[in-house]
Structure 1
């Protein structure tokens, strides 16, 4: 039978034999931050060394000690992973070899994977992997797109806004390359807009809400550019959204805006949404939406009535000018009163005097005036007044110059000729007042 002293000696001997292993274990092996014994010293030395070189931007010198830390002490810090990605992106940028650049991309993805293993944040880091892969290796767009989708599945309503912007960009590229379907493009938009809507509603500050709105506008712009945004694809998607929240104000605003932007105002969904919106919030925008409904139905009286309501409620001068212009266009298009069209166009100019379009409208109204003048000569003088307006349009607004020049060329052909003017004692270059409701003083031209 062993004595107590013998047992103590045996235990002490086992401990001594185990001591070298305990004194020299890496962090990757024992789960500690730095490891133990000599390995912990080695980890700390290399950590200090790489950080010093990194601060000096000596990345070629920093990368060797960084690799030691990465491989042997993976729990040492999150910053170690951030610095590693930064350095390999710089190596990627400076490399001339395609093969070498792809190896750097793979290394960056591996850094993200190890960071996930030891520091979690899998949803966010999967998104960062997807963004970097999309930007660094365009030929791997599908792989990047799948990573971004996976990250949204993981984070759902907590998904950062940048993910949706990148997801839609990669989706657009794949859609244009026929790698994803129109339905999938629509579903991407539906997913992004649903979560962004939620995030806007639950933003903790105005600043955050505004950031989400900017991202939402980008998502809508990408969707628009894709060509997948048609009434046929949008209406089923938005009908479902309408049925889920038919009296939710922000939901109705978004549906109305999207349908208007994609020219789906003839749909029943647009009418229902616009009516609900106006009942909940009788604003300039909701009145305008109903005006557009009745234009599509060719109910001109109601359309004009809602335009006038929108004008009363609107406070932005540029928007008021647009409403007046559209009213004037309605009257011209429906053979309404040209004099009233001119009145609305002049009202638009009061709100926005640098816009040439109202002058185009006035010129067209003059040229289209029926039953004008007592004789053939007087009837043709309306074209002098019309052409004056076209010249005025391009003088105040260069963006309408091409349109104005075409109008000038068209209507100058109908000026009176010298023989007609001779009988009325009218000479070229003289002042002449075009009569009737036009009442415009101009110069005689043949």
Structure 2
């Protein structure tokens, strides 16, 4: 008898689970369909049922739910708005419990950093609480903390705490935090550059891109552009503090306790170089300590820079080339090559500058800045190339062509590159000039350092 009762109870319980599962799947499907057509009001009720009754059924409960609540927050006010704001924070906490992994990848840092961003934007916590949430996200799961807006807000919040004289937040710690977060930005940007580089190489080889590859090319460009924009904003925040007047005494003060720390030495040397503080004797000390402690691509580059400043060109080239050989990451290698190209441009060594810029593009085809540098080199040489005024102005066609290449491969500088190309095209011979010369379709060869040719456009 007991067995029969237990059997009945078992089947009854199984039936309830089955019905509950069917209800969950049905509500999931209903809310998802409404969500896709942005009918969030109709999606809300079935979404809440799924969220409450079967929170582990699908990650869309959280990713879709986040966007729905953000929509409701934006389009409501008063107590209702506050309720949606608090529910968004609650949703992030539920997300962490029920779906911290997506396809085996940990996204804890992404969820926690988005929660911190929501706390900030909705003014639901104190600045120190918001910073601590960002900091916990970063220390717990740095790998998935890659959204540029929260990364920027993470540093901005800390910088504001420094400005408010918060206990324990010093200028030295602000610089450390800046270096750490800016390096994370560069990692994210480099990741997009590598993915974009594969597609660009295929495109340059003449192969047809699939519709998926075209979509990915656009997505990588947009995401990279957003990351570059926020990194530039980050740099703007620290700019007033990171002057040579502040950096030199600060690094001098902290040198003794950090002289055996290659990460600190590298960051200090990098910051001094980027802020044109490399003429100070402290820079020499930092570079020598770094190279003796841990010879690397960066330390070799800085030694090249020091020899460059002394006029030891051959010695500088030796260290520059050593820097390139020591670097194993293609994107970082391209960055070093671009730095060297820029240094040669400043000293009017245009041919060497172009060579290094071209090498940079071999390692990072999406580096639009390298194309722009070559474009500028050509434009700067217009008066020194060509045998006639027409030929001199024809150099601008070459310059414009390189600028157009920059616009095609690098969304982060597309507007600048297009403006540059249009400016150079405006300086090139006009249709009237071509008609007057009667040389449409002819090839002009430049025997100066450029060593290139250009075909005069047909009328």
Please, what TM-score do these two structures have when normalized by structure 2? 0.47
- Between 1 and 2, higher relative CO (CA 8 Å, sep ≥ 6) is seen in 2
Query: Which has the greater radius of gyration?
Result: 1
With normalisation by structure 1, the TM-score equals 0.49
